[in-house]
Structure 1
Amino acid sequence: MTNEVKTRKPVVKKKFLVEVAWETCNQVGGIYTVIRTKVPSMVEKWGDDYALLGPYFPQTAAAEFEALPVGEDTPMERAILWMREQGYQVHYGNWLITGKPKIILFDIASIYDQINAIKGRIWENHKISTLGVEELVNQTIALGELIRLFIGKWAQENQNKKDLIVHFHEWMASTCLPDLKKEKVKISTVFTTHATMLGRYLAGNVPNFYDVIDTFDWYKEAVNYGIEAQASFERQAAQKADVLTTVSDITAKECQYFLGRIPELILPNGLNIQRFAALHEHQNLHSKYKQNLSEFVMGHFFQSQAFDLDQTLYLFTSGRFEYSNKGYDLTLDALALLNQKMKEIGSKKTVVMFFVTKQPYHSIDPEVLHSRAVLDEIRENCSAIEKEVGEKLFLAAASSNNLQLPDLNNFVDEYWRLRLRRTVQTWKSTSRPKVVTHLLKQEDDIIRNLHRTNLLNNPEDKVKIVYHPDFIVSTNPLFGLDYSQFVRGCHLGVFPSYYEPWGYTPLECMARGVPTVTSDLSGFGDYIMQIMRDYEQWGVSVVNRKSQTYQESVEQLANNLFKFTQQSQRERITQRNRVESISDTFDWSNLRSYYDTAHELALMKKRNKA
């Protein structure tokens, strides 16, 4: 009889992942896109062992939040009930997006009366000065305290049964991280900075920022720009977290010099590509929405400058109004050079360049609205004439023995002739088409650049400018499109950023089958250069801003745009197909593994310390 040795399988402890972000169910900027689009992939992996934390704002929660009842079945639910017993307003439910994850939202007003005491404790524990800070910083501190209490109670209720991993995004969601670490709460922590506070300020104000990044005193610069508290919270979170991550190699340098720690991992951003996928329809959608843009262009330009729409290309750039950081300066100077090149060869093409950003304005320019309204009236007149002529032509053709086409003018009533003539007469103008669609409250750098380069929609210009200082939504009376439809209608997206920790706009173009321009100083551009050698063949152009002078980058972009204008329609269709086909590379199902590694590394570090 043989003796069998029974070996026990090691007990694998279950894990629970919590992601904390100011933009959970709260659309403010790019991090909302990161969090929201990543959710389906995270739910696929974690199932019910996944939740998100964030602030409660009634206006956004009304559209995206669905409340759930709270029982006592789980440590998380017991922590929620305990928070409510303490008098704090905690909302538990589903986030109404793909994947429907569980979310806990904290009403910061329910703890705001304690803000001074909380700030005092933060000073005592961590020497972070929060005197005289802006209201937003106070709000993040209040949210942090609620999260500190909640996570602490949750970990206590958990009794070490599951490994709790808490992933903090940006300083705004991480003001409690140093306290959680000081109190030795039994969690593993990951902190991701998507863009450092100092990096954004310095890049927009210091020439050749990247060349001198190692010379800055982070504290001195934080005080100089009035962001001492924000930069201090960010630095403490970066140093206290078990694992520090960021979104690109470019931002990793900022972490090294401004946060005092080199990130363990880079977490490239992705999209839920399926949400954008149109399969074979993306070409049809391009044609459909291009027609909307053409109608706007007719209304805006054809009053005084008519050109061949079949020979017209629609280019655009969009994002926050950061004139240098977003590369608006480079784009404008390259367009001026492109205009010159196209005129020199007598190009038959026309380029209409849309600048879509947010700037203070009084209203849409009444003249721009009026022009569009009159064009609509011309269309109505033409439709009436078309219907009248069609019916009379049909009767004439059916009853006639003459096989010749009759004179169609005879079929138009004098009323409609006169009405159309008068409408067109009142519409036509000799004035130059407006460069900006709205009445700005004050002249800005885009306007000043256009005047300097004389890129003002002159009749001889091959490059026309439309500056739209507001975000595009479906209720917009000028386009009648939402932003995604507007993008699909364009031929090329142009984003040669100087400071762009990641850069979603070129990736969103790719997902919609629109070729794009980025730069090697954007996280996206840097990443695509690492993973693809022949990216230009797939509809992605990367402007070199690392090793070239500004003027050399201008010339490179202008040459790239000039080359694009010389492509045939067949070449552009092929390029749209190619760029759409590689967008799957950036689906979260492929990029989630970077996050998985970060979470496993945090657990490993925590266990090693234990």
Structure 2
Amino acid sequence: MEDNAALNNTKLFEIAWEVCNQVGGIYTVIRSKVPSVIKKWGVDNYFLVGPYFEEQAAAHFDPATDYSTPIGKAVLEMQSRGFDVHYGKWIVSGRPNVVLFNPYSVYDKLGEIKHFLYQDYHISIPDGDELLDKVAAFGFQVKEFFHYLCNNGFCGTNTIAHFHEWMAGIPIPGIRKSNLNVKVVFTTHATLLGRYLAMNDHEFYDHLPFYNWEQEANKFNVRPIAEIERASAHGAHVFTTVSEVTARECVYLLGRTPDKILPNGLNIQRFEVLHEMQNQHVQIKDRIHEFVMGHFFQSYSFDLDKTLYFFTSGRYEYQNKGYDLTLEALARLNWKMQQAGSDMTVVSFFITKRPFYSFNPEVLQSRAQIEDVHRVAEEIKEQVGKRLYNKVTTASGSYAFPDLSELVDDYLRLKLRRNVQSWKTNSLPKVVTHSLVDDAKDEILNFLRTSNLVNHRHDKVKIVYHPDFIATTNPLFRMDYTQFVRGCHLGIFPSMYEPWGYTPLECLASGVPSVTSNLAGFGDYVVNNLPQHDEQGMYIIDRTDGNFHRTAEELANMLFDFVNMTRRERIALRYRCEEASMHFDWSNLGKYYDDAYKLALER
């Protein structure tokens, strides 16, 4: 696809549920890829198609004023036929053209839509499932859109429609049945059935060849989605997925071997700070220090200059995301550091999403109280500064350094003493920052209770479990997630099931080393393509043999080695991380998409 003439004569549509609609990882894939795609294809040959939801569109979508283009005319025609369809620009880097369909606008046709899906393609969508209803309605409109384009001569040139994930895949069998002149590419970013199976079977990959997809889909009540995935995979001219790891499950669960692997990249330029990297790390680390002081120092203190911040984050899937393995390895690390007499402290954050009532009042109170202490300290600093300056400049005779304690008013001394005393406590620092809805059944908390890893003074590894995603509105951290990552020292993501895994890649782009597993698509790609990955801060643990305790020990040893690095070694590693991240820029990984499109045109 390096041939510009071929590009100029081809129109590319990417259809995804997460265009102008932030739900999960596919939003990052599509959004981050836009600038490099437009650079290659040109803004007039590239279009994104997604659902229209008013709240999301208000922040992400800029309506068009010019409808004179073929796509604009198609949108006007569909509007005249009663479809609620919107045309304009997505407000992201590159400003791509987007067409958005409101699923609710055809809800009066849902019964008919579902009838033909079952009659023609054996896709059975039940009544009353909100997501499936929206997906079916959206898919019907997208199919009608391509019908209109082809019936009006638009598809005379090469037209490629690239559908991402099952939520966008419903139009595929209809496009093929009508024999439209559209080359179809379908990418599954993960099979839903695979996700459910992996959550419930520790030996998922060993058992893959023996699953009966229909029985398992019925068992987990995901039959309609499995049918959509299979119809999309089999209907596409070119079937793709994001990693070799996911390709294996596609063979057995979807019944088709992917034609191409399309690894996920990032727009690395968005993360780049080059020489500023270490300065940014230090600045944000200081803000994490503020949280840690408020959270821990009311009970006891430790040396922040000898403290490392580890974190793990993502969807709450206790085994799939490797939270069970991370906890076991941290418990072993705690013991290893105690046995070695280490003077270091590790604070490990678990950032995920769980049902909660509110912030833990004691955690919020501690944060507020240390801020009171800080304000009084600032008042004292200002008062001492002014009085010290006046005293030394007006003193007669030889210079003598004054007694600073005499320069502080009694009321400020008393105020500071009262604030410190009301803040200090003899209870242990909280493990979880929020009041969870089902505290007694939470797997992370139950592990910590069983292993007694509950932030004792003598523990070298401290735990902060934050059951909500980090945002600037969060009163505990007051920063966004990407800033938080930059302030940490190591990310830990030893997934047992992860089709790709953006979290270690985001770490890499922020200059933060990370650990992942070779059962994650990203880890598998790194092992096969980057032989010096350890030296570049990409640590990969082997989870293929299913031996949990061996893997936990391997991970604990990795973490122990990291703790024992010197500060100079960690800084050098940060620079090598950010340098290595350029490999994953879309300017490099876009070639895999080009190969898939070339294959689609040939077919």
Instruction: List aligned pairs for 1:187-586, cutoff 5 A.
Output: 187-400=182-395, 401-443=397-439, 444-547=442-545, 549-586=547-584
Aligned in 2, Cα 1:588/1:13: closer, same or farther, shift over 3 Å?
closer
Distance 2:130 2:551 in 1: 40
Instruction: List aligned pairs for 1:95-244, cutoff 5 A.
Output: 95-132=90-127, 134-158=129-153, 160-244=155-239
Tell me the percent identity.
51
Shift in Å, 1:23: 0.2
Distance 1:206 1:530 in 2: 26
Which runs of 5 or more structure 1 residues have no equivalent in the other structure?
A: 1-9, 606-610
Question: Deviations along 1:20-44, whole A, 9 cap, x unmatched?
Answer: 0000000000000000000011111
Count residues in correspondence.
595
Distance 1:282 1:421 in 2: 39
Corresponding residue of 2:88? 93
Shift in Å, 1:123: 0.9
What residue identity is the alignment partner of 2:57?
A: A
Shift in Å, 1:319: 0.4
Shift in Å, 1:531: 1.1
Question: Deviations along 1:207-264, whole A, 9 cap, x unmatched?
Answer: 2111111100011111110010000000010011000000000000011001111001
Shift in Å, 1:132: 3.9
Question: Deviations along 1:407-464, whole A, 9 cap, x unmatched?
Answer: 1111111111111011101111000000000000012111111111111001110100
Distance 1:79 1:355 in 2: 48
Shift in Å, 1:399: 3.1
Aligned in 2, Cα 1:11/1:41: closer, same or farther, shift over 3 Å?
closer
2:28 is the alignment partner of 1:30: no
Shift in Å, 1:197: 1.1
Give the aligned CA root-mean-square deviation in angstroms: 1.3
- Asked if the contact 2:351/2:465 (under 8 Å) is kept, the reply is yes
Q: Secondary structure at the match of 1:337?
A: helix
Corresponding residue of 1:61? 57
What residue identity is the alignment partner of 1:301?
A: F
Shift in Å, 1:158: 2.6
Question: Deviations along 1:306-360, whole A, 9 cap, x unmatched?
Answer: 0000000011111011111110000001000000011111111010000000000
Distance 2:111 2:66 in 1: 31
Shift in Å, 1:72: 4.2
Corresponding residue of 1:39? 34
Q: Secondary structure at the match of 2:301?
A: coil
- Asked if the contact 1:14/1:161 (under 8 Å) is kept, the reply is no
Distance 2:550 2:128 in 1: 42
Misfit runs of 4+, over 4 Å: 10-13
Distance 1:13 1:288 in 2: 46
Shift in Å, 1:78: 2.7
Which runs of 5 or more structure 2 residues have no equivalent in the other structure?
A: none
Q: Secondary structure at the match of 1:582?
A: helix
Corresponding residue of 1:604? 602
Distance 1:538 1:341 in 2: 25
Distance 1:263 1:171 in 2: 15
Q: Secondary structure at the match of 1:373?
A: helix
Aligned in 2, Cα 1:526/1:178: closer, same or farther, shift over 3 Å?
same
Corresponding residue of 1:6? none
What residue identity is the alignment partner of 1:158?
A: G
Question: Deviations along 1:542-582, whole A, 9 cap, x unmatched?
Answer: 11111351111100110011111111110110000100111
Q: Secondary structure at the match of 2:47?
A: strand
Aligned in 2, Cα 1:11/1:411: closer, same or farther, shift over 3 Å?
closer
Distance 1:73 1:40 in 2: 21
TM-score by length of 1: 0.96
Question: Deviations along 1:1-23, whole A, 9 cap, x unmatched?
Answer: xxxxxxxxx99981000000000
What residue identity is the alignment partner of 1:118?
A: I
What residue identity is the alignment partner of 2:225?
A: Q
Aligned in 2, Cα 1:405/1:59: closer, same or farther, shift over 3 Å?
same
Aligned in 2, Cα 1:219/1:411: closer, same or farther, shift over 3 Å?
same
TM-score by length of 2: 0.97
Question: Deviations along 1:33-69, whole A, 9 cap, x unmatched?
Answer: 0000000111111111000001001111001100003
- Asked if the contact 1:78/1:157 (under 8 Å) is kept, the reply is no
